[in-house]
Structure 1
Amino acid sequence: MSLPTVVFLDRATIPTHIELPHLPFDHQWLEYDFTPPELVVERLQDADIVIINKVVLDAEVLCQLPKLQLIALCATGFNNVDTSFCQEHAIAVSNVQGYATQSVPEHVLAMIFALRRNLMGYHRDIAAGEWQRNKQFCFFTHPIGDIAGSTMGIIGSGKLGRAMETLAKAVGMKVIFAERKGASQCRSGYVPFEQVLMVSDVLSLHCPLDKQTHHLIGAKELSQMKANAILINTGRGGLVDEQALVHALKEGVIAAAGVDVFTQEPADETNPLLANIHLPNLLLTPHIAWGSDSAIQRLATILIENIAAFVEGREQNRIV
């Protein structure tokens, strides 16, 4: 009987200094730093198990891979996999959950402090010689706001949302969770979606991207927010209408935004956010909120444990 073949299609999405634990069974291992769409089928022809992060495995691809038994995602999101096809054709799918519950909230908090206290603006002013011109021990060219006492609205109450709640409360913020958009009734412990928009000083997105949440925040929703509000998106790019967000920032509809995720990654000059990166109230990072060394090491460990569990006939972190 031949050894199972495990193929990692985008190994470079995990930094090289992060060690992948060894699989506890005999196998053949193949890995590629990146895999363009036109090479996916070719590289998976003999694969029993595939590891992916952002490679797309849709029905058109999957129907050409009759040997495939397990798709092991080294991420939480699985919108790049056709799970309906997998369900119908007995292909197991697992993801990694709960690995970034420290990293993502800390990144969100860092963005909030940077934007509310105008750290980037003051940095640029010093570089431009503003301090020297003022001839004072300090100068105030931008408003500086406090975080303590403000209200954070969180959309998404999974592990990341709850971890965000804990950290926000630790710095003195009041936290409310939004009920699902359009819900007829409000669950205990949740606040109606529109009310969260209206009362939040900071709105942080931690929900998955699907048909119901695509452009969850658009022009209408932005117009319902406070003029001094900050929007932080470390969830998925498609949760926010990027063009509407740029307009809201330019027109003062909201005060600022921190964005770590984009509708297409890597984003290019056609993306409205990248095209307006010069805006003083916009802070962009390249999908790294999840990526502290400790978080990625936990991800790698859970990934290998998921695969081992599948081979042993156990279900762990299974989507399908």
Structure 2
Amino acid sequence: MSAPLLRRVVFLDAGTLPQRLVFDPALHIDYQPYAASAPGQVAQRIAEAEVVITNKVALTAELLAAAPLLRLVCVAAAGTDNIDFSAATRHGIAVRNVPDYGSDSVAEHTIALLLALRRAIVPSAQAARDGRWSRAGQFCWHGPALRDVGGSVLGIVGRGRIGEATARLARGLGLQVLFAHRAGHVGGDVGGQGDCCFDTLLSQVDALSLHLPLTPETRGLIDARRLALMKPGAVLVNTSRGALVDSVALAAALRSGRLAGAALDVLDTEPPSPDHPLLAPDIPNLLLTPHVAWASEQAQARLAGRLVELVHQHLGALPAAAPAPISSGDTR
């Protein structure tokens, strides 16, 4: 009896997902996870693959054309801006993402960053340990202004799953939520009533939270002009794509005090070089986390489980589910 034909599944950047993928051994899968793949390594690694899993490694038209056995690309994320969809369609390659594994995780991180900014959590914690509290001469230490989140106005740009989840948590804390459905138009909580232009929204909100994919239209959306439109004391939170924000303009707005604070989980280059404009030590009121909003243990487990399901469905071990639509607000 001849050995069963092995079907190759390749994960190009498995190091981005600490959870191990475990496939049904009866499916005779030849699974090859690579911790990371440099651009020059991708073509060789996918040349004989039937399924390719990628998180952030780009699959261009040229790469897809050079993989004749490839039938499925699984994106280990919600955002899919690293895949050439037109080329995949031409070559009969299905593209599936995992749109809802981490919506709640990203939303929680967004609200945590907002609370940290408004309540000055980081500078207060530093003062408690570096001697400033000990030297205060009274029971408390007064440093940066502390502002309640309840009763403030949160503008959310992007009404996908993550934007909606963020709004739900924000309302629970007593914030008023305004949505920007796209860069040019916004609407209030009730059925889009009270629409006004995006620039007007910027002048109304106490905090702005970004939940958009990166496209040619959204790149640099928050630039020097729009930062200047935000009202004094406002803060910016970005847990979607770093290049939505002009890094140089944001650094200048924070240094000048025009913007009260910013909290970012993403930068336009990841990992950033040491000389990135937003890593300069003199930028005040800037809180950075290293692209971890999505990465709760629960979200990672959901993502790994869904990737395994997608591969099993492709190989016929599970009924094929209808592809979920890729929402314009799903970015992780």
TM tier relative to shorter chain? over 0.9
One-letter code aligned to 1:7: V
**Partner in structure 1 of residue 277 of structure 2:** 272
**Would you say the 8 A contact 1:168–1:175 is kept in 2?**
yes
**Partner in structure 1 of residue 50 of structure 2:** 48
Q: Is 1:290 the equivalent of 2:294?
A: yes
Q: Helix, strand or coil: the match of 2:5?
A: coil
**Would you say the 8 A contact 1:179–1:192 is kept in 2?**
no
**Would you say the 8 A contact 1:9–1:52 is kept in 2?**
yes
RMSD across aligned C-alpha pairs, in angstroms? 2.1
Q: Helix, strand or coil: the match of 1:261?
A: coil
1:32/1:282 Cα in 2 relative to 1: closer, same or farther (>3 Å)?
A: same
**Would you say the 8 A contact 2:178–2:186 is kept in 1?**
no
- The alignment-based identity, stated in percent, is 40
Q: Is 1:6 the equivalent of 2:34?
A: no
One-letter code aligned to 2:297: D
Q: Which residues of 2 match residues 120-269 of structure 1 at below 5 A? A: 120-182=122-184, 188-189=192-193, 191-269=196-274
**Partner in structure 2 of residue 30 of structure 1:** 32
TM-score if structure 2 supplies the norm length?
0.89
- CA separation in 1, counterparts of 2:293 and 2:187? 33
Shift of 1:70: 0.9
Which runs of no fewer than 5 residues in structure 2 stay unpaired? 327-332
TM-score if structure 1 supplies the norm length?
0.93
Q: Helix, strand or coil: the match of 1:131?
A: coil
1:106/1:281 Cα in 2 relative to 1: closer, same or farther (>3 Å)?
A: same
Shift of 1:139: 1.7
Q: Helix, strand or coil: the match of 1:179?
A: strand
Paired positions, count: 316
* 2:64 aligned residue (62, 75, 83): 62
**Partner in structure 2 of residue 316 of structure 1:** 323
- CA separation in 2, counterparts of 1:240 and 1:184? 19
* 1:89 aligned residue (80, 91, 115): 91
1:183/1:165 Cα in 2 relative to 1: closer, same or farther (>3 Å)?
A: closer
- CA separation in 2, counterparts of 1:86 and 1:46? 16
- CA separation in 2, counterparts of 1:134 and 1:45? 65
**Partner in structure 1 of residue 330 of structure 2:** none
**Would you say the 8 A contact 1:176–1:191 is kept in 2?**
no
Q: Helix, strand or coil: the match of 2:209?
A: strand
Shift of 1:216: 1.1
